[in-house]
Each structure stands twice: as structure tokens, then as C-alpha cells.
Chain A
Amino acid sequence: MKINVDEERCCGAGQCVMLAPEVFDQRDEDGIVMLLDAEPPAEQHGPVREAAEMCPAAAIRLSEGT
């Protein structure tokens, strides 16, 4: 799994930070997403998929597979 985040689209809602705190964080100054791990280990895939699904700005894109 490879994660791409779109900082332009991000609305700083923080859903991803709550669902997968080892993968996502927020900048202190404006709450915009910071990607901590672009290729997270398998045990994070479930929470990351949920974060992508729940993101209100559709700012998280996943490429799965290889």
C-alpha cells in the first residue's frame, strides 16, 4: 500500500489522525495533514483504508497491491 495525501484539498478535520495516528499527524499551525509513513506495514492497512474512506475532503489516495 502506498499513500498519497493532497495538502491542498485537506481541510484539517483530523479524522485520519484519530483513526491511524501512527500514519497521519497534523501540522500545529493549521491542522493540515502530515504523512508519517507513506508505505505503512500491513497492520495499519485497515485503519488507513478507513481514514481514506472517512476523510471529509477526499484528500487521501491509496494505491494498493504491489
Chain B
Amino acid sequence: MTTRPEADANSAHPFPDFPHPRSSACPFGVSPEMRALRDRGAVSRVRSWGGSTPWVVTSHAEQKALLADPRLSADFSHPGFPSPVDPEKAGRGRRDMSFVGMDDPEHARLRRMVSGVFTVKRMRALRPVVQKMTDDFIDSMLAGPRPADLVQALALPLPSLVISRLLGVPYEDHEFFQTNSRTIVSSVATAEARSTAHTNLAGYLDDLVARKTTDPGDDLLTQLGERVGAGELTRQQAASMGVLLLLGGHETTANMITLGTLLLLEHPGQLAAIREADDPKVIADAVEELLRYPSIVHLGRRRTALEDIDIAGETIRAGEGVILLSELANRDPSAFPDPDTLDLTRDARSHLAFGAGTHHCVGQPLARMELQILYPTLFCRVPTLRTAVETDQVPFKHDAVIYGVHELPVTW
């Protein structure tokens, strides 16, 4: 990466170090370091791993514009791509995340092989199935001992079961794919551990896709197997897409389920409105605000500039890394008045929790639907639900690229 004169660390205004851990003192707040980054402007440079000096984008408007800008590449293999983990400590590892790390047109070609699963129509049809699954997991939790760990009782199993059904993955294998998924999104796991976890999952999905060709089902892996047969996909590409959807389909939603539940418990007045709501729009609005507020995608969305880009008074040069911090966009006062206040009645729909542009989360219609069912069902069926430990005793995931909690002891 080219170093420009003002990038000199000895200058009067050296670039601040990035990243920094999320503050454990205030798990839902914006840390002082992140506030300081925002104060430096909408677009500024930071000093990161190995002395690299990528740009960070802190404002909502600029992030939205850049995420939809084809002059930014999401290709992980680009030499200027800003690594989300320290390559010195963890190595680049194996980061084959299918079309997430690709640009159009190949990105769109692969993505559109799976995006039909998440249409509005399909999600409406799936709603009663997800409602029944939610009720069943809550029944099991209520029949078990108190306190229960909400992560294991509900937050992980529900989205795992749903995505397993859509893909055609046997749910009995959930311990295997949950454990390996957790390692892949950990930012403290070694390169070797992450690589092994990825190889495990990819091998598992490759076997499954192969099995579907002789034993087809009404599921996505069967469709991908047919595309392999038709020569549109390699087996490796199919397995890689399977890993992406399986991992993306449960790990992220599980974290939103626990963080949203915690936030609702911390705001009992607003929670009452959710419990009593009979208008689906009230629930839908509340879910958008619960997505905006904690912004679980941690450490930013990452891109490389393919051309020079003039934005917010700066010029990002071709080849330079760009990090888009959705946790700051979602607390930008020009997009969300009084942004540090949780307000379930506000219009939070323009949040960037799912990103924007061509890489906008492909599974977001499913995630939204699961959350819209889960929160009201949980709090209506378990009205006395409460945490079994103080919030400061809850183990938050300061060590993962997807923010959440490791466990959430609850009782009722």
C-alpha cells in the first residue's frame, strides 16, 4: 500500500490505532475510541495491523453510498484488502466465504442461485413453521431446569433448525456445525483452528451435496447439487455456498436473539408495549430498532478501492483499504436523532445492520422474520422472564467478529 506524506506516524496527527476491543464496561455503548474516530470526520485513516493505514468510514450517508458503489471491491484476495484479523498472529487463514468475498458479475451469478429461497412470498409461507419451532423450543425450555441458558435453549437452536431445513442439513448434526461455525467467526482462534473448522464444514457440506444427487429433497442443497450436475457450479463452490448459508443462517441470528432479549429486559417499559402489541408493524419497527442499536457486525465491513474515490473531502486512492463501521453508522445522529437512546417506536429501517448494496445480507428476510416471531412469542409465553445474573456478569463476545453473548442465564 502506498504511504502518503501525511501518513507519517511521526507527524503531529498520527493516525489512531484500530481496531480496539468493544468496551466491557458498557456493552451496548459506543466506546470512547470509536467516538474519537467519529470526531475525526466521516472518512479518515487509521493505523492497523502491520502498519497498514486503511480508511474508516464512520457516517451513515457515506457508508450507504460506498456500500452501493461498484468502485469498491469485496474480494478478500486483493492485496489492499484490510484484514479483519491480525495476519501476523492469526495468518490470513482460509477465508473462502463464497460470494461474500467476490465482486459482480460472478458474485451476482452465485448469489442468485440461493436468493430465491428468501423471497417475501417464501418467507410468508415459512412463518407458521418458524412459529411452531419457536413454541416447541420454548416448551422444552419451560419443561427443563431453572436457570436455563437462553443461548442453548432457544437462541442457537431456533435459527439452526430453520436454516438446516432450508438447506437440507440433518439437524441432528447441529453440535458439529455450531461448534465449527463458532470457531470460524472467532477473532482469537488461530489460523490453523479456523482453517480446520472451515475444512470440516466444507467437507461435511460437500458430502451432503453429493448425497442429495442420489437422495434429493425439497431443499437448497439439492438445487445446488443439480447445478453441479449441470456444470454451472463446481462441487467446491457448492460446498462453500453451503458453509456460508449454514454459518450465516444461525450464528448471526442467534446473537441478535440474545442481545435483543437482553435489551428488552433492560427496558421494561418498552418491553410491555411489545408484549401487548397486536399490530405486526409495532413488532416490525421494534425489531429494526433492536437491529440498529447493538449492530452485531463488529470490526466493520471491508473493501478495497478499485479506482480513486472522492468522498467527504478526502480522496481514497485505488488499492487502498476501506473499513465501513456499521456500529457508528447506526448511531449517526444525522440519520437517527438521539441515537444512543433505544426507542422501539422510531423508524430505524435505514440502519446498516445488514449492510447495503450488492452484498446486502442475502438472509435478512429470514432473520427479520425469525426475530419478529421470537421476541413477542418469548415474552408473551414467559412473561416473568428475567436474567439470572447481573448484566455485568454476562459474558459478552468481545472476541468475535459477530457481537453477542457466550451464554445468557435466564429464569422465570
Contact = CB atoms under 8 A, between A and B. Distances in A.
Nearest to A18: B120
A56 B67 CA distance: 9
B112 A56 contact: no
A57 B68 contact: yes
Contacts of A12: 112, 115-116, 118-119, 362
Interface in A13-44: 13-14, 17-18, 26-32
A31 B349 CA distance: 20
A12 B118 CA distance: 8
B248 interface: no
Nearest to B355: A56
Contacts of A26: 119-121
A11 interface: yes
Contacts of A9: 68, 358
By secondary structure, the A interface counts as: loop
Contacts of A54: 349-350
A57 B119 contact: no
> Which of B120, B349, B356 is the most central at the interface, judged by chain A CB atoms within 10 Å of its CB?
B120
Contacts of B108: 8
B360 A56 contact: yes
B120 A29 contact: no
B357 A57 contact: yes
Contact of A32 (B104, B112, B123, B362): B112
Interface in B230-267: none
Nearest to B113: A30
Contacts of B113: 30
Contacts of B356: 56-58
A12 B120 CA distance: 9
> Which of A9, A13, A26, A54 is the most central at the interface, judged by chain B CB atoms within 10 Å of its CB?
A13
Interface in B330-378: 349-350, 354-360, 362, 364-365
B283 to A, nearest CB: 14
Interface residues of B, number: 25
Given A54-B349, A54-B350, A56-B355, A11 B360 contact: yes
Nearest to B123: A14
A28 B364 contact: no
Interface in B123-148: 123
B360 A30 contact: no
Contacts of A13: 360, 364-365
A8 B103 CA distance: 13
A32 B255 CA distance: 28
Given A12-B112, A54-B349, A31 B358 contact: no
B349 A28 contact: no
Given A13-B360, A13-B365, A14-B365, A56 B354 contact: yes
Given A12-B112, A54-B350, A56-B360, A28 B121 contact: yes
A27 B116 contact: yes
A17 B358 contact: no
Contacts of A14: 118-120, 123, 365
A31 B357 contact: no
> Which of A11, A18, A54, A58 is the most central at the interface, judged by chain B CB atoms within 10 Å of its CB?
A11
Nearest to B356: A56
A11 to B, nearest CB: 4
Contacts of B123: 14
Nearest to B105: A8
A9 B360 CA distance: 11
A54 B284 CA distance: 15
Contacts of A17: 119-120
Contacts of B358: 9, 11, 57
Contacts of B119: 12, 14, 17, 26, 28, 31
Contacts of A32: 112, 115
Q: Which 4 A-B pairs give the minimum distances between C-beta atoms?
A: A30-B112, A56-B360, A14-B120, A12-B115
